[in-house]
Structure formats: C-alpha cells, structure tokens
Structure 1
C-alpha cells in the first residue's frame, strides 16, 4: 500500500488525530465524519478515512474495502442527518475542486441539487 497512517502537514490527518477541532458527527475504526467549515448545502459533512491517502483513486487502488467503508459511513451520516435525498461527491485533483489532498467524501443535502453541478 502506498497510503500512510498520517501525514504531518495534512489538515484532515490533524482533525482525525484530534490535534485540530472538528464538529464530528461520526467516528469509527475506519473513518471520521465532520461538518465542512465552508458548507455549500444545509447539510455538508466530510467523511475521511483515518489512513492518509491523497485522493479517491489512491484509496480505491490501495484499499477497496476502505472505499466501500467511506460510502457506507456516508449513508449512515445521511440517515443521522434525516436525509432521504442527498449527493455524494469525491473530488480527485485540483482541477476537479480538491483543495485538501486527503481522500474525503462530501455528503450534501437539505436542498434541491441542480445538475450538472458547478
């Protein structure tokens, strides 16, 4: 595996480790989910793996079960937030809108979503 347990300079690794506070809504052995500090929807939660990987492509290559755990946790977050309709977003790369290079799955809901996005 090319992923590491944590990266010293990674914001999300620091949130997972509790070094930086986050509004955590779910935590288990595989992932931590916390509210986005710049929400684009009434519900905007990030689901991040505890193990550092730069993006979704690296995560699914290195640990397909962890990729499934992200989606499973996202569904649990959505249920916990009372959402029946929601959007899941994985950005991979700066041109796709990724700004923190630690795999993270956005759970968006609470409003009607347009298509195509952005």
Structure 2
C-alpha cells in the first residue's frame, strides 16, 4: 500500500508536525485555507470514519477536540471549522480531519458547497425517516 498519510505517520514524508501520540498524528496542511490549518490522522490506516473502530473513535476525537482548542488559541482565532470527508472529496484515502482557524469576515463563506432546502416538510420528514431506518 502506498498511502501518503501512512508514510507521514511512519516519518517517511517530511511535514510540519504539531502533535503525535499512539492514536493520532497532526501536521500543517501543505495547502492551508488559512495559516494554522491542521490535518489530524489516525496512526492506523483506515480509509474512512466508518472504518474506525468504536475503541479508536473516542481517543481519535479526543485528540481532534484538543487540537481544535490549540489551533484557536495558537492562531488567536475566534473559532474554527472542523471537517472530515468520507470518500467524496477525500484527496488521500486515509481518514483525516481538517481543523481550520476561523475569524469573522475571513472570506470563507460557510460550507464549501451550495446550500439547498427541502422541498417541503414532508420531504424533510421522509429524509429523517430514511436515516433513522438505516441507523
């Protein structure tokens, strides 16, 4: 397997490292939305969030939470945007979470895609039912 993030975790690819422990590694994104934009990856190769075991999920997101606070403090940011893609728009097929420092009027407009509305309340109710049924 030739996974870029596995190579980062192994120390084979140089990055600006911010954090590393037995659960996760965090480093600066090489193409940041803003300075301080981090990527957090689990040490074990898992392609998506749904591949992370329940035992791994808590420790991984504990690190994401802690690193989010550090990005906000370290970058004097008013807030942050935290996002994880699953397959679609996932440039490296290894689970990773973006932590982006945010400030009012920073030029980033909400999410990175156009927002829509449900056709009506019945459409919203049907959608919610589909997800509850799958759960």
Greater relative CO (CA pairs within 8 A, separation 6+)? 1
Of 38, 44, 47, which aligns to 1:51? Answer: 44
- Secondary structure of 2:112's partner? coil
Q: How many residues align?
A: 109
Structure 1 residue 70: Cα displacement: 4.1
- Following superposition of structure 1 onto structure 2, how do residues 1-118 of structure 1 map, counting pairs within 5 Å? 8-59=1-52, 63-78=56-71, 79-94=73-88, 97-111=89-103, 112=106, 113-118=108-113
Structure 2 residue runs of 5 or longer lacking an equivalent are: 114-135
- Secondary structure of 1:43's partner? coil
Deviation >6 Å, runs of 4+: none
Structure 1 residue 9: Cα displacement: 0.7
In structure 2, C-alpha distance between the alignment counterparts of 1:25 and 1:82, rounded to whole Å: 17
**When the two structures are superposed, what TM-score results if normalisation uses the length of structure 1?**
0.77
Structure 1 residue 61: Cα displacement: 5.1
Aligned Cα RMSD in Å? 2.1
